[in-house]
Amino acid sequence: MSLRSYKVKVRVTRVVDGDSLVVARRRWFNFMLKPKPFPVRLYAIDAPELSQPYGTDARNEMRRISSGSLRLDAVSSDRYGRVVGVVYRRNRKKSLNHMMVAAGLAYSYQRYGKLDGIDEAEARARKRRLGIWKAGKSQTRPWDHRRSMRSRVRRKRAARWRLRIVAFLILVVAILLGMNWLWQVVEELTRSALGG
C-alpha cells in the first residue's frame, strides 16, 4: 500500500503544537493490542511555534478540535519521519487543517503542496482579523522564525568554537612562557650551585 492511498481512523494521543500531533490507529481490538503511536504533521499549514505569540493558543485550539475519532488521509512523509496528511473529524467535510487556518491560528503553507480551499480560509481569517491576523503583518511567520533560530544556534556554536581556540592558544602561550621561566630558574640554580 502506497502512502498516498493511506487512509486510517486514528485517535490523538498527544498534541505537540498547532500543526503536529501524535496519533494511534483506532481498531476494534485496541483493548487487546496496544497500537503504536506515530507522529503526524498537518499538510499545507504552518502554525506558530510555541515560543511565538499565538503558539500556545494554536496548540490549545488543536487540542480542542482534535478530540474524538478522526480520519487521517496521508499525503507523504517528511524528513523527520512524520506522516504528513490531512486529518478530518468524523462526519465532517472540513479538515483540522482548514479549521486551524480558518480560526486564524495557522498559515497556509504551500511550499510542498496545495490544499483546496485553504487560501480562501486564510483570506477570511485575515479579513476578520482572527488570531495571528490581529497583529497585521507584524507577526513573524513560523518558517522565518525557525530560520532565525537556526542561524542563532549556528552563531552561538561558532562563538563557542572561537572561544575554545582562543583558550587553547592562551594555554599554549602560557606553557611556552612557563617553560622559558622554568628554564631561567634552572639556569639560576645551576649558576648558584656551581658558585658562579
For residue 48, give the C-alpha cell.
506558530
Q: Is the pLDDT of residue 57 over 80?
A: yes
> What is the Cα–Cα distance from 20 to 43, expressed in whole angstroms?
10
Tell me if 49 sits within 8 A of 146, measured CB to CB: yes
Average pLDDT over residues 79-105: 91
Q: Answer yes or no: is pLDDT of 34 > 90.
A: no
Confidence check: pLDDT of 1 > 50:
no
Q: What confidence tens digit (pLDDT) does each residue in 3-18 have?
A: 556 789 999 999 999 9
Helix (H, G, I), strand (E, B) or coil at 88: strand
pLDDT digits (tens, 9 = 90+) for 104-149: 999 998 887 788 899 999 999 999 999 999 977 778 888 888 888 8
Mean pLDDT of the chain: 85
Question: What's the whole-number mean pLDDT along residues 20-48?
Answer: 85
In three-state secondary structure terms, 33 is coil
Average pLDDT, integer, range 70-90: 92
Residues β-bridged to residue 105 = none
Is 80:134 a contact under the CB 8 Å cutoff? no
Percent of the chain with pLDDT over 70: 91
| CA atoms of 123 and 154, how far apart (whole Å) | 36
pLDDT, tens digit, 9 for 90 and up, residues 138-172: 788 888 888 888 888 888 888 888 878 877 777 77
User: In the prediction, which pLDDT does 32 show?
Assistant: 60
Higher pLDDT, 94 or 190: 94
Q: Distances from the Cα of 70 to the Cαs of 12, 100, 155, in angstroms?
A: 8, 15, 42
User: How many Å apart are CA 63 and CA 57, to the nearest integer?
Assistant: 10
**CB atoms inside a 10 Å sphere around CB 8:** 15
Q: How far apart are CA 95 and CA 105, in angstroms?
A: 14
Task: State mean pLDDT over 60-86.
Answer: 93
Q: Which pLDDT belongs to residue 167?
A: 75
